[in-house]
Amino acid sequence: MQLSKMIPEVDTHTHTVISGHAWSTLTENCLAARTRGMKGLCLTEHGPAIEGGAPAYIPHSQRMLPETVEGIRVYKGVELNILDHRGTVDIPLEYLKLCEFAIASIHTHMFPERDKREENTEVYLKMLRNPYLDILGHADDPTVPCDFEAMVRTAGEEGKLLELNNNSTTAHRPGSLPSLRKYILCCKAHRQRVCVASDAHFHTMVGSVEPMMTLLEELDFPQELIVNLTKERFDNYLKERIRRIRAIPD
């Protein structure tokens, strides 16, 4: 089937009202996913450094949630904030360890000196080398310039993923398209695995990634590199993740 006609079975980046500036509940997001014929979503609330964001202990609190909601598998995750070039983040390791899937993101309004390309790249590489982090969020953002080749190379070495965030195709992140195309072509050239994610802040956005899928089709991106296209493939990545974490020396 053509990529532009496909919806990933698992949306790896979604927010609820708990993030403080999103508008839907977990149940509403899951119902939306079910309506679209999807099988899972990652619950990835913002860390506390974002105004009104979830508390740092959110990964602990999320353990009270059932495995599935409205028939949709809810993977308990987080989108932590990278706060500076030293790699300070807003979720302590003890809580990060409780996540099933963790995104590391730079949010431009709270990241000073983001015009420093080399330092931006280094902090992203540091995140990719942290075994408890799975993926960089919206790292194609042209307002945080960085070396895509170095990031893709390190992601490959570490067995990590890179996110293709649908908001980079929309007015939410204006001017992103040239950078996004470069990022995608770099992933394609190195056969880097990716996740296509909505970054939903409202339930109608869950799984709504048609513009990104259309762009991937146009760029002839290999379907097999999209880890969340099927739940089976995503679950296999999570098994890899568990093995990676088990191998960490005490």
Query: Which residues here bind Zn ion, judged by CB under 5 A?
Result: 79, 105, 137, 199
Using alpha carbons, list the distances in angstroms from residue 35 to 28, 32, 204: 11, 5, 10
Residue at shortest CB range from Zn ion:
105
Least gap, CB of 165 to Zn ion (angstroms): 7
Rank residues 72 and 205 by Cβ distance to Zn ion and give the closer one.
205
**Which ranges of 75-194 would DSSP assign to H, the alpha helix?**
93-96, 117-128, 148-158, 177-189
- Measure CA of the first residue to CA of the last residue in the chain; give whole Å: 46
Least gap, CB of 29 to Zn ion (angstroms): 13
Least gap, CB of 192 to Zn ion (angstroms): 20
99 near 76, Cβ under 8 Å? yes
Rank residues 4 and 204 by Cβ distance to Zn ion and give the closer one.
204
Rank residues 109 and 239 by Cβ distance to Zn ion and give the closer one.
109
Rank residues 106 and 187 by Cβ distance to Zn ion and give the closer one.
106
HSE-CB at 127 with a 13 A cutoff on CA atoms is: 36
Least gap, CB of 19 to Zn ion (angstroms): 8
Rank residues 53 and 137 by Cβ distance to Zn ion and give the closer one.
137
Least gap, CB of 247 to Zn ion (angstroms): 29
Task: Tell me how crowded residue 4 is: count the other CB atoms within 10 A of its CB.
Answer: 14
Least gap, CB of 11 to Zn ion (angstroms): 11
Nearest Cα to 137, choosing from 113, 172, 111, 102?
102
Nearest Cα to 95, choosing from 128, 136, 55, 67?
55
Residues 6+ positions from 163 with CB-CB distance below 8 Å: 12, 13, 103, 135, 136, 137, 138, 139, 194, 195, 197
Nearest Cα to 98, choosing from 80, 84, 81?
80
Rank residues 14 and 192 by Cβ distance to Zn ion and give the closer one.
14
